[in-house]
Amino acid sequence: MHCASCAHNIQSFLRAQPGIVTAEVNFAAQTLAVTYLRDRYGPEDLRRLVQQLGYDLVLHTEQVHTSREERLRNLRLRLWIALGCALPVAFLSMGFHGKVPAEALLVLTLPVLWAGRELFTNAWKLARNRQASMDTLVSLGTGAAFVLSLWATIAPEHFAQLGVDPPLYYEAAAVVVAAVLLGRYLEERVRLQGSRAIERLLTLQPRTARRVQNGSEEEVPIEYLQPGDLVRIRPGERIPADGVVIAGSAAVDESALTGEPFPVEKLPGMRLWAGTLNTTGSVVLRVAHTGSATVLAHIIELVRAAQSHKAPIQRLVDRLSTLLVPIALGIAFLSAILWSMLGPEPRLTYALLTSISVLLIACPCALGLATPLAFLLGVGRAAEEGILVKDPTALEQLSQCTALVLDKTGTLTQGKPQLVEEYWESESSELRRALAAIEVRSEHPLALALAKALVAPTEALPEVEGFTNIPAQGVSGRVNGKLYLLGTHAFLHRQGILCPEPLQQRVKTWQQQGYTIIIAAVDTRAVAAFAFADTLRPHAAEAIRFFQQYGVEIHLLTGDHPEAAERVVRALNIEHFQAHASPHQKAEYVRSLQQRGHRVAVVGDGINDTPALATADVGIAVGSGIDAALESATLVLSGGDINRLVFAWNLSHQLRRVIAQNLGWAFGYNLIALPVAAGVLYPFTGLLLTPMVAGMAMALSSISVVLSSLRLRSLRLHVDKLGR
């Protein structure tokens, strides 16, 4: 497709067919979304319908990139041919006017027309279906200029009899065709860049998997995998499907999906995602989801759907673009009549010049590209930085939000407890190993964090006898005949454990600071206490300062206790917060902000924040639990990096600016260019555009929109450089 009229023609043609329910064509993304009755059509039938209009339909996803690459190579070849001949034609015609044989200009122009032959073939196919597009305008304009010049070359005496010089406009036909090809080549390159996010995701999926059956391994295409199959993954191999580790251990690089920069240790019972990379170790995976049911496939589909999205304003722009073609034809016809009746001599020449200029300058390409091309590049750029856009309208609206509501756990904080302080009545390596030996037998996150902090991973631990775990209270066990207990203050109090006064004072101070506390005891006396906190995410403070400097109100909502919330708001200088907030209360809080006139963006972990995310003007899910996050928000920040929220805001701001500038330029160009090409200024200034200038202006309008949209590609992630 070459302009918004192409998209409209395909869309209206398909909608008129019986058995087709809906049809949406996106010009910038070059995609067709169609709902049809399966008993009436198949994919090949749809392809034949599209081919009737002179277009083609790529049915298989894996062929899209190949098709675009081939088209780009073909365009590049034809562009070089066109430029190689058009530039000499323009130079000879303008620099040596009247001194170069017309036959020489004809010979140089023919290869240019051959390079741009699809303009004329497409216009003819559309005409047979009583439709018109940009190709119609360009082919009529350049065709008229070429035919008139050819007539003047073959039979110059006919014009001599009329008392006018033989009109030669070979340079107009050649330069216009070359300019159109240049614009299309740049557009195709930009589309290819915009689709690279999807292509990179597609390359994450391996082609084969090592399936384990009856004790033997067999390499099979991933299409053969079924839920329940066992697959062995060796070092250096990508995970072929979503599933659960049942044997072995490995360090898996999940950065492509979650943004986590370091490999994650995977043990039996832990989940693996298709497309992630096993860096070290070997595991056996039980397949849970394959093919289109994997998280990777969902992400690819999200990006593809978002890039094909049409903003509400784009539907109005599309309608205006389709009106431009008949309006231009009408103005060209009216201009020819008025100049032939009222214009100065030679009237025929002026009538032809103005009508051809109107046809060439009226291309609706810039208008059709203004919004969708910006969305295409914006969504692709977001995907490259780990931001999944489910609704591009939300990306556009993010920078208009005046209030930002943040969850604490998993959003501003890591969501994992870390030991921040420890107090010992009496410390020894033997005691540390004994406590670690008991804690590693518990599955509680606090126990695992403490065990990791007490001893080195390679350090040998003593045997534990009589291990007991009381959920939500504590654990106990015997090591070398001594009874060790670890748990809450209440748990130890019920066991009759005495806490020395200094330890009690330290615990009281930690409680006031909002820390979670574990106390350790040996036999009947407390010997140590440990304070845990959910630490802030990297860049959280910088991100909060960034939004505050732009006047965005920051609100913290958490279900945690007030002390923990206060510790975070003090560290981040957040003024508004509410603790012990239930999911329902969070949603009500968002509504109250909206009633005060705020546009609200909510950032949460995508699970317990679902009501608030759904209520907000823009819902943003953060976290490495990407399967849950995909279902809960319009934007997803993979991996939980709060830095990406700043990038998303800047991308939104830049996207709005680019769209506004694109639309302003495209509308302004068409409003001014058409009357000027028709000769409105001639009676006052003597200004009259030549067909070559009109054609070049048309091409430059599209190129300007392309270059303007390309600015979205240069936006960078670093917090310290954003917003400048």
Q: Concatenated DSSP letters for 102-160?
A: HHHHHHHHHHHHHHTHHHHHHHHHHHHTT---HHHHHHHHHHHHHHHHHHHHH-HHHHH
Mean pLDDT confidence for 305-328 = 67
pLDDT: which is higher, 436 or 668: 436
pLDDT of residue 180: 78
Sorted by sequence, the CB contacts under 8 Å of residue 46 that are 6+ apart come out as: 14, 32, 34, 36, 57
pLDDT: which is higher, 193 or 605: 605
Cα–Cα distance between 564 and 515 in angstroms, integer? 7
Look at residue 545 and tell me whether its pLDDT is greater than 70.
yes
Mean pLDDT confidence for 642-648 = 86
Mean pLDDT confidence for 334-338 = 89
pLDDT of residue 676: 85
Q: Exposed (0-12), middle (13-18) or buried (19+): which is 39, by Cβ within 10 Å?
A: exposed
pLDDT of residue 521: 93
CB of 576 closer than 8 Å to CB of 557: no
Look at residue 722 and tell me whether its pLDDT is greater than 50.
no
Cα–Cα distance between 93 and 87 in angstroms, integer? 10
Residue 372 preceded by cis peptide, ω within 30: no
- pLDDT of 31-81, one tens digit each? 888 999 988 888 889 999 998 887 888 876 555 656 667 888 888 999 999
pLDDT of residue 628: 46
Q: How far is CA 639 from the centre of its chain?
A: 16
- pLDDT of 202-230, one tens digit each? 667 788 899 998 888 888 888 888 999 99
Segment among 125-134, 281-290, 507-516 with least mean pLDDT: 125-134
Segment among 133-142, 317-326, 387-396, 535-544 with least mean pLDDT: 317-326
Cα–Cα distance between 445 and 447 in angstroms, integer? 5
The answer to whether 407 is a known catalytic residue is: yes
Nearest Cα to Cα of residue 388 among 713, 657, 632: 632
Mean pLDDT confidence for 500-506 = 91
pLDDT of residue 719: 47
Sorted by sequence, the CB contacts under 8 Å of residue 157 that are 6+ apart come out as: none
pLDDT of residue 66: 61
> What count of residues does the chain have?
724
pLDDT: which is higher, 364 or 555: 555
In this structure, what token pair is assigned to residue 690? Answer: 């030549």
* Mean pLDDT over each residue of the chain, to the nearest integer: 81
- pLDDT of 367-382, one tens digit each? 667 777 788 788 888 8
Mean pLDDT confidence for 600-624 = 78
Residue 346 preceded by cis peptide, ω within 30: yes
pLDDT of residue 65: 56
Looking at residue 237, the DSSP 8-state letter turns out to be P
pTM > 0.75: no
Cα–Cα distance between 302 and 464 in angstroms, integer? 50
User: Given 407, 605, 609, 617, which residue is catalytic?
Assistant: 407
Look at residue 168 and tell me whether its pLDDT is greater than 70.
yes
Cα–Cα distance between 548 and 565 in angstroms, integer? 19
Looking at residue 238, the DSSP 8-state letter turns out to be B
Run of H or E residues at 673: helix 643-678
The pLDDT confidence band at residue 625, using thresholds 50, 70 and 90, is very low
- pLDDT of 671-713, one tens digit each? 788 888 888 888 888 888 777 677 677 767 777 888 888 888 7
Residues forming a β-bridge with 486:
475, 520
Task: For residue 340, report the phi and psi dihedrals to the nearest 5 degrees.
Answer: -70, -25
The pLDDT confidence band at residue 98, using thresholds 50, 70 and 90, is low
